[in-house]
Structure 1
Amino acid sequence: MLDIEVAFALPERQRIIQLVVPEGTTARQAVAMAGLEAAFPELPSVTFRQADLGIFGKRLRDPEAVRLRSGDRVEVYRPLQIDPKAARSERAARENR
């Protein structure tokens, strides 16, 4: 058995759920086990099923294949609200006025 955490945050609140999972559990499976839908009922459940995932800030390319190790913190990433390049361009345009 492995001790892990699953983390998700909105701008106004966050939740870190500690779990004990069997060896061989993938990052995606851990998110499903964490039950984040109940903690964030205002979000559609697809948010958690299809979200990008990472472990300690490093994005996972294939979260369905990454097997967890004891102590891992799986992070569920929210989709970007605005493209970072577009945000920089808008800021530069405002500053140059």
Structure 2
Amino acid sequence: MVASDTDAHTRVNVEVAFAEPHRQHVIALTVPSGTSARDVVAMADLPALFPERGTDFFSHAPLGIYGQALREPDRHTLVEGDRVEVYRPLVVDPKQARLARARGDD
């Protein structure tokens, strides 16, 4: 199917979210239809808001949409209303944390 001129100029409203333990930012963007999840993270310029993380972190971080991890964020095309979430690596293994709580470790 060939895209019409109207399709080529369609834009979608999306959000990009990233959170640290004590601060978070949600950036609203209007992007061209066909934009990937990875591309919209680059457009959000999160390294300017979280310079301690650096550009490389945001270029390779796992991504999801509304809590559902994306297997191929470079290929996932966004739709109207998507909220792309940038995930941080786990500091503590959840299984180990549950074991420690069960033992009464603080």
Shared topology, TM-score over 0.5? yes
Aligned length: 95
Of the three residues 50, 54, 57, the one matched with 2:60 is 50
Paired-residue identity, %: 55
Q: What TM-score, normalized to structure 2?
A: 0.85
Q: Paired residue for 2:88? A: 78
What is the CA–CA distance in structure 1 between the aligned matches of 2:75 and 2:27, rounded to whole Å?
Answer: 21
Of the three residues 7, 27, 45, the one matched with 2:17 is 7
CA RMSD of aligned residues (A): 1.1
- Deviations along 1:60-80, whole A, 9 cap, x unmatched? 111111100011110001110
What is the CA–CA distance in structure 2 between the aligned matches of 1:44 and 1:93, rounded to whole Å?
Answer: 37
Flag structure 1 segments of 5+ consecutive residues without an equivalent. none
Q: Where has structure 1 moved over 6 Å in runs of 4 or more? A: none
- Deviations along 1:2-50, whole A, 9 cap, x unmatched? 1110000001110000111111100000001100000111212222111
Flag structure 2 segments of 5+ consecutive residues without an equivalent. 1-10
